[in-house]
Each structure stands twice: as C-alpha cells, then as structure tokens.
Amino acid sequence: MLVRWQQWNRWARLALWIIALIGVAAALPLGAVRMDTERSSKEVEYVFDYRDIVEVAELQPKPQQFLAEHLELLAEAGVTTMAVYESSLKELVQSGRLTYYSSRDAALLQGKFEPVGQNFTYILFNGPEEEEKIGPIVREAFDHIDVAYSDWSYGGRNGIVVELPVAESVMKTMTFDPMSLDAIRAAGLRVLPRFSDRMRPYDQEEMDALLGQLKEEYGVNRVLFDGDKVKGASDQAELKSLDGFGELLDKYGIGLAAIENLKKPQQGINKLAYLTNYNVVRLYSLSEKDGLDMSPGAITDRFLLAAKDRNIRMFFLNGSIEANTEKAKFVHSLDKLAETLDGENGLVAQMTEAGFAPGDPKPFAFEQPSWAKPLRGVVAIGAIAIIALMVGAFIPGVYLPVFLLGLVGSAGLYVLNSSTMEQALALGAAISAPTLGLVWVMNRIYSRTIGERRMIGGPNWSVGRSKTVNALHQPGAVYDNGGKMKWVFPAMSFGRRFGIALTWFVVATLISLMAVPLVFGLLNNITYMLVLEQFRGVSLLHLAPIALVAVYVLLYNGQLSMGKVRDILSKPITLTWIVLAAVIGAVGYYYLSRTGNAGQVSSIELVIRGWLESTFGVRPRFKEFLLAHPLLLLGLFLSLRYRAAWLLVIVGSIGQLSMVDTFAHIHTPLFISVIRVLLGLGVGIIIGCILILAWQIVEGALRKWAPAIVRKFVE
C-alpha cells in the first residue's frame, strides 16, 4: 500500500508540474492583452492648483495683475489645465470678489454702535459684475441650508446680511466661482473641477445642471475630488447619491482623476470608477514643499519615472509662498515651476521626447476578449498546482490531497469574492515558485555533498537526510570517520564548479519566474492597473520564501533533526539568544522598510538610481543586482566545497522573490518590469562572477602563503 501511494505521489508530482506549465502558457496571451492596454494612452496633462496662485497673488502689491500675468506665464510654460475648488467666502475674498464683516465690524464701518444681541455676517460685493455673477452662488449656498438673509448696501456697493455668525458662514461650501472659470478659459487653459462632499444634502437636479454647464461652457471632461470622500459618498445610503452622480458623469462623458499614493483611497471612488466604465486617469501630485525645494532636474526625473514606471498621465503642481527672513521678503515657487516646465531641456520637452506629449489624457482602453475569462481559470488551476508542489516539497505524500483541497477552496472563495480568490492564489504562487527554485538547488547540493538520502515524494524533489552508517563509507558525506560533521567537501576543478553553479542559478531562476505569468494572469484587471485595488500580502511575499528556504536549509539536510529542534526550544533563553533575535529583527525591519512604494533609501542610493535610470532607461533593483543575485551565484559555487556557504542560498532567496514582486506591481508597464528583471539578472551575474574570481584569488593566496592555516581549517 505504501509503495503504491509513493508511486501515485510521484505521478501526481509530475502531473502538477505539467498543470503548472500549462497555467504559465495560458497566462502569456493575457500579458499580451495587458501590453496593448498599456500602449493605448500616452498623452499627459499638466495641472496647476489655481487656489495656490490666488493665495500667492494675495500677498503681492497688485494681486489681480499678478494673477493674470502668472496664468499667462504658466500657460506658455506648458501647463494645460487649472484645478478649481468649490468656493467659500474666504476664497472669494482672496479672489477679490467680495468682502465680509461681522456685526461689530459692519457697525464700525458705518460709524454706528454694534447691534445688541446680533451676530450676523455682512457681505458686500466688490462691484456690479461680482454682484451679478457671484451673488447668485452665495445666495444659493445659504438657500441650500435654509438660512435667512436680506439685502444690504453700503458705500455704493450692494450685498446681503446673512443670519449666521462669520465663523460659521466661512465654513459653508459654495459652487465654483464663475469669474475664475472665465479667467482660466480666457487664458487658453482647461478646467479641472475639484468636487468635495461638503455640500449636503446631495441634489441630483442641481448637479445635473452644474455638470451640464461645466461640460458645455468650459469643456470639462474629467473631475478631481477634494477631501477623503468623492461627491455623493456621504448620502449614498439614504439618497443613492453615488449612483446618481456616477450616472451623470457617464451621461456627460466626464471621467475621474485618481490621486496616487493617498494614505487611504477616497471613499466611493471605486464605485464611481465602475459606473463610468473605468474612465479613470491616475494623477501624481507634486507637493508644495517639493515644488519649492526640489531642483528642476529632480522634478523632471520624478515626473519621467512616474509616467514610465507607474502609468501616471496627469501631473498636479502645487505652488507655495513662504517668508524669507534673510531677504526680508516673501518667496514663491510659481516662477521656478514655470522655468522647470519651459525650454528646450525643460520638463515638457523631455517628457515629449520620452513619448509622453502634452494633451488630453485618455483612459486605458481595456477590453477583455471572450477567451480571457476561461484562460484565467486555467491560470488559477496552474497557481493551485504550483502551491501544491511547494507544500509537497516540505510534507511528504500530500501533492494530490493539497491540489484537490486547493481546487475546492478556490471555487468556494470565488463564489464569495472573486477578487480575494485571485489575490490569494497570486500570493501563493508568488511565494511558492521562488521557494521551489531554491529547494531544487538545495537538493542538487545535497546530492553532491552529503551522500545517500532518505527519499520523500520522489528522487528529484526529495528531502535529504544522511544516515550515519552509510555516510562513513562515502566520500564527502555529512560525517567523517571520526563521527564529526564535515564542513569541507572534496574539491572539484574551478571550471566544473563554476559551470554547475551557473547552471543551477539559471534553472532556479526559471523556476522562480514561473510565478510571474501566474501573477499577472490572475491580476489581469483594469482595477489593479489603476490601483483601485492593490495586491495584498507584499510583506508576506518578502518574508515567506526566505523563511521557507531557511527552514529547508537548516532542517532538511541531516544537520538538524526534529529532536534537536525540540531540545533547542526547551533550553532557557540566554543573552546570546536575545542579542541574536534583536539583530535578526533589526535586519528584517530594515529589509521591510525598503520594500513597497514607501520604502526608504539613502541619498547616495538616490544618486546611483538616477544614474541607472539615465543610463539604462530602466532602473534594476539594488537588492537584486548588488546583493542577492551575486551572493546566490557565489554561494552555489562555494556550496560544493564548503557547508557554511549554504547560508548564502538563504540570502539569495531575496533576489528570487524580488523578481516576482516586481511583476506584482500591476500599475507598472509589463515591458518595464521585464527589462528591470533582465537587467538585474545580467548585472547580478557579472558581479557574481567577479566575486567568484576574487574568492579564487584570495583562496589561492591563502593556500600558498598560509598552508598550515588552510590545512587546519580543512581538517
């Protein structure tokens, strides 16, 4: 019975490899569809925050002249669009549309005593045009919340008295300032309205009229949101306002701009994206501080990287002003940003040369062919197969049960939440393939160093453990004739060791890269490209393969047994253990701090990154080509001679998982990820070869000049 089960297990392992390879092949056409999608939108839009210009202008001697001049300056430099916020009394004052007073200030203005028991807001429009165009939006805002007001005039100017305190009146949100919209259009610029969800309750008829006006009069074709909610999110439960707003956006052909790298996605944006058929463009925002402090070259490099590597098609520039005490004047960033954009070597010119011309950015044309869904099913089965192979490498005889359990569990999860199922399988495949690649490598090392082994699950993917009785009669076995563990194995020629090491490195890499098509095939959805959904489990992906490979190296090679593990766990905790745990924890924390979009890097590394970007066009990952790949190749070369070198295989797992993680960033164009990984491999192999030659030189020198020390070490 046991023999028959082992035979079934070997056949199951072979079948799972075939299924996994079929899943990989099925994912390749999905990758081609994705690449076509990524090529469907190349134009970019440069947006400036109109409110920032108004705030800077307010501190100038002639605000209105400064505002008009800088609108023209920015338009000539390459800015195509102005972002306009919904108004408030404070912003209308800054724009020179009106002035407001408290009851006390209004009384002083008129030379009267303050009205007793009254705390109202007195508003005066700055002229007939302001009264005609701004008056209606002010009155409409207070009508919306049922606040009483009455007409008022002073000094030849007309206005209103609102029966609210000033502190409360200035918090009320009003619709967009039509005079600002007209000024922007007159400057030849487009308008990007920034809607908030502060005007409540949501009114579908008012919104229909407003969107129609913005579309017809100002050519608005995209909206941006201000705050942590999109328009209509707060009243969705009661009024179905999100559904209504989404229908209106779709009715007028108006899309969305999704801001990159927010701490938390704006509430409701996923639903609006769905309702507008994913008419969404990703937007990168240059902060006020960066706009003031960064050099033009650094800003240009950042924008180029965002367009190439993250599919950003809208760039939002924030202006700022600050007091410079040394110069005793206010310093603003508007002129500097205009200079950054303009010129033959300016940002706009370099972006255009890179293939991203200024214009009206289109959403990615994402159309799934009829055969895509069945292929994704095949890819999912392939992912389950490779996960089962990884589990079977550690637990004997479970290939078939794990695969069947994976099929049933995935089917149930698909019914509950298909997105969760896809992400779970993608994460499992991303962890399994690099682990399998290095398990294969370790089994090759075991077969050439520690002699006969106990077979688990088959001859090629077995877990090794030498028997001391046999080992005593085998060259290079785990134990020598004195019963001591051997740390140095019989020597091979340099050429043979190098050829074996390089072959092992290539095969392990190919096994690791099997996860890549499975990941992008499972996550082949526009929601991931637009980062409306994100691949979860990145931290686990960066840790699990390392931990699994470490377990395999330490526990599955005959060096440690489960009895020894129990002995270790039963020992009291000493200071040495605490220090070791602290060191491992610090290294792990630093490693994780460098992963993901928020990873921290040094200033020196930033310089090197810039050089790599300008030299190769795509920057390979530091931890791959400078650390993991070279050390893995060196470790494989040394492992045939020195047992301690096996630890370098654990370090090398970082590079294998990092290659897979590169493709888990679905918002990065697929061909960019391919180039990045190939560059990392190429440079990493070159550095690894240099390390091997350096080792040979040092080892040869030691053998020549310190033979006694070397002989003692070997013995």
Distances (CA, A) of 496 to 499, 574, 694, 703: 5, 44, 17, 20
For 44, which DSSP code? B
Nearest to 226 by CA among 199, 174, 266, 253: 266
Q: State the burial class of residue 411 (Cβ atoms within 10 Å of its Cβ: 0-12, 13-18, 19+).
A: exposed
What's the pLDDT at 116? Answer: 87
The predicted-structure confidence for 341-373, as pLDDT tens digits, reads as follows: 998 889 999 999 999 999 999 999 988 899 999
Measured distance CA(101)–CA(124) in Å, rounded: 9
Residue 675 token pair: 């180039």
697 three-state secondary structure: helix
Q: pLDDT tens across 448-477, in order?
A: 887 544 333 344 433 334 433 343 333 334
Q: Is the pLDDT of residue 557 over 90?
A: no
Looking at residue 229, its pLDDT comes to 95
Residue that wins the pLDDT comparison between 385 and 114: 385
Condensed to tens digits (0 to 9), the pLDDT of residues 192-224 reads 999 999 988 999 999 999 999 999 999 999 999
pLDDT at 138 over 60: yes
User: Which pLDDT score, from 0 to 100, does residue 462 have?
Assistant: 39
Question: How far is residue 102's CA from residue 165's CA, in Å, rounded to a whole number?
Answer: 7
- Contact call for residues 474 and 452 (beta carbons, < 8 A): yes
**Across residues 588-595, what is the average pLDDT?**
55
Angle at 463 between CA 587 and CA 625, to 5 degrees: 40
Phi, psi of 111 (to 5 degrees): 70, 35
Residue 192 near residue 224, CB atoms below 8 Å: yes
- Euclidean distance between CA atoms 18 and 209, whole angstroms: 60
User: Which pTM value belongs to this model?
Assistant: 0.85
Between β-strands 149-154 and 157-162, what pairing exists: parallel, antiparallel or unpaired? Answer: antiparallel
Question: In terms of Cα–Cα distance, which of 189, 2, 175 is closest to 78?
Answer: 189
- The predicted-structure confidence for 478-519, as pLDDT tens digits, reads as follows 444 444 566 778 878 899 999 999 999 999 999 999 999 999
CA-CA distance, 647 to 645, in Å (whole number)?
Answer: 5
Percent of the chain with pLDDT over 90: 67
In sequence order, what are the residues at sequence separation of 6 or more whose Cβ sits closer than 8 angstroms to the Cβ of residue 235? 200, 201, 202, 241
For 255-284, how does the pLDDT look when each residue is reduced to its tens digit (9 = 90+)? Answer: 999 999 888 899 999 999 999 999 999 999
Structure tokens at 536: 């979860």
Q: What is the CA radius of gyration of the chain?
A: 33
Q: What pLDDT is attached to residue 461? A: 39
| Domains of the chain with CATH codes | 2-38+368-714 (no CATH), 43-86+184-363 (3.20.20), 87-174 (no CATH)
pLDDT tens-place string over residues 5-61: 677 788 899 999 999 999 999 999 999 999 999 999 999 999 999 999 999 999 999
State the sign of the Cα–Cα–Cα–Cα dihedral 77, 81, 86, 87: positive
Average pLDDT over residues 550-561: 69
Q: Is 397 left (phi over 0), alpha (psi -120 to 50) or beta?
A: left
